Chains A and B, each alone.
Chain A
Amino acid sequence: REAGDMTHLFSIIVLLLKINATKSCSGVSLKTQELYLLVFVTRYLDLFQSYISLYNSCMKFIFIVSSGCIIGYMRKHKVVSQTYDAEQDTFRVAFLVWPSFLLAAVINQKLSVMEILWTFSIYLESVAILPQLVLLQRTKNVDNLTSNYVFLLGSYRGLYLLNWIYRCLTEEGYRQWIVWISGLLQTAIYCDFFYYYLKSWRKNERLSLPS
Chain B
Amino acid sequence: RRKSWDHDEL
Contact = CB atoms under 8 A, between A and B. Distances in A.
Interface of A: 1, 5, 8, 46, 50, 52, 56, 59-60, 63, 118, 160, 163, 167, 171, 173-174, 176, 179
A2 to B, nearest CB: 11
B5 A60 contact: no
A60 B3 contact: no
Nearest to B9: A1
A8 B5 contact: no
A177 B6 CA distance: 12
B10 A63 contact: yes
A179 B3 CA distance: 15
A5 B7 contact: no
Nearest to A173: B3
Contacts of A179: 9
A173 B8 CA distance: 15
Contacts of B8: 52, 56
A165 to B, nearest CB: 14
A148 B10 CA distance: 21
B7 A59 contact: no
17 contacts: A1-B9, A5-B10, A8-B10, A46-B7, A50-B7, A52-B7, A56-B8, A59-B10, A60-B10, A63-B10, A118-B7, A160-B9, A167-B5, A171-B5, A173-B3, A174-B5, A176-B5
Contacts of A163: 9
Smallest CB-CB A-B distances: 3 pairs: A52-B8, A59-B10, A174-B5
A48 B9 CA distance: 16
Contacts of A176: 5-6
